């Protein structure tokens, strides 16, 4: 008879304490931008470039295609941001034409920008 109240108490303690731990972990992890900056500061070479062709759009900690990264390091960058951002709260990504991202090399660093805001490249016309 004594086992049922003990088990019930333990079960209640587990459910009461669990949500608090996950909230604390989410708060400690920081925001989406803070998580990306941790990876960028730890491995700046993953984001360096010489031209737009060096860059690709990569996933940020929330899984959104909104991070510019060097193509050679895209996989490592996604692992870093996914691990660093494991406990942050993420709003849903809306995959719309307005949210389409392209990667550009700006001042030696790969950046993801909205396609609608990217500069239009002039095509070379053979003479």
Residue 62 lies in a domain: yes
CB 71 within 8 A of CB 51: no
Q: Look at residue 91 in the predicted model and tell me its pLDDT.
A: 74
Residue 83 lies in a domain: yes
Domain of 112, in residue numbers: 26-116
Residue 15 lies in a domain: no
Residue 123 lies in a domain: no
The per-residue pLDDT for range 31-55, each reduced to its tens digit, is 666 767 778 888 899 999 999 999 9
Q: Look at residue 8 in the predicted model and tell me its pLDDT.
A: 47
Write out residues in the chain with pLDDT < 70, as ranges.
Answer: 1-33, 35, 86-87, 122-127
- Report how far apart the first and last C-alpha atoms of the chain are (Å, whole number): 94
Residue 21 lies in a domain: no
Task: Tell me the whole-structure pTM to 2 decimals.
Answer: 0.60
- DSSP structure class, residue 26: H
Number of structural domains, the chain? Answer: 1
Both tokens of residue 31?
Answer: 């925001």
């Amino acid at each position: 008879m004594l086992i049922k109240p003990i088990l019930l108490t333990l079960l209640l303690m587990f459910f009461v304490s669990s949500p608090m731990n996950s909230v604390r972990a989410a708060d400690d992890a920081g925001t989406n931008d803070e998580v990306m900056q941790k990876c960028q500061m730890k491995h700046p070479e993953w984001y360096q470039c010489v031209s737009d062709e060096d860059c690709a759009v990569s996933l940020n900690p929330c899984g959104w295609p909104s991070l510019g990264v060097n193509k050679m390091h895209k996989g490592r960058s996604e692992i870093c941001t996914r691990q660093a951002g494991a406990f942050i709260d993420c709003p849903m990504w809306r995959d719309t034409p307005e949210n389409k991202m392209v990667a550009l090399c700006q001042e030696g660093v790969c950046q993801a920008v909205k396609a609608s805001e990217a500069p239009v490249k002039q095509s070379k016309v053979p003479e």
